[in-house]
């Protein structure tokens, strides 16, 4: 489950760069890291090497660049695997990663369904607008 909560004061979260990640190893908490993964352009490889991550963050955002590689900063980020995570994050077990993958996969399926619904509503809105324009002509 996400470390971020609804209505959270994001003004208190520092915007991080790859330099911050490397120069301050194991400094940042899960909320700060998750927010920056979602809202900044960070190297996932550097995150894995220099910060302590949760199994959820690894499964949701880091392994293979996350859902549809949307968090991958470069091609290398899209190829980070679970065994590689375990190598750099020795506090995480394979069992924890399996559990986190299940949760992340369920969330990704839900997010995909929401995206499809938004797309369908958008297309329907365009069709309705076109119909109204045709009726006015």
Of 97, 83, 36, 14, which Cα lies nearest the Cα of 46? 36
Over residues 3-23, mean pLDDT: 82
Q: Where are the domains of the chain?
A: 10-136
- Cα(1)–Cα(18) distance, integer angstroms: 25
Provide the 8-state DSSP code for 59.
I
Residue 32: count other Cβ atoms within 10 Å of its Cβ.
Answer: 18
Residue 92 has what pLDDT? 98
Stated pTM of the model: 0.78
Read off the tokens for 64: 């293979």
Give the tens place of pLDDT for each residue, 59-109.
999 999 998 899 998 889 999 999 999 999 999 999 999 999 999 999 999
């Amino acid at each position: 489950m996400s470390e971020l909560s609804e209505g959270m004061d994001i003004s208190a979260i520092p915007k991080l760069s790859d330099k911050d990640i490397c120069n301050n190893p194991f400094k940042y908490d899960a909320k700060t890291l998750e927010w920056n993964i979602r809202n900044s352009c960070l190297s996932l490889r550097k995150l894995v090497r220099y910060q302590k991550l949760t199994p959820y963050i690894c499964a949701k955002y880091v392994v293979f660049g996350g859902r549809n590689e949307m968090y991958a900063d470069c091609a290398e980020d899209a190829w980070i695997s679970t065994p590689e995570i375990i190598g750099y994050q020795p506090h995480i077990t394979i069992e924890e990663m399996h559990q986190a993958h299940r949760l992340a996969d369920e969330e990704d399926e839900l997010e995909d369904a929401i995206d499809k619904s938004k797309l369908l509503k958008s297309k329907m809105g365009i069709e309705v607008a076109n119909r109204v324009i045709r009726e006015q002509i």
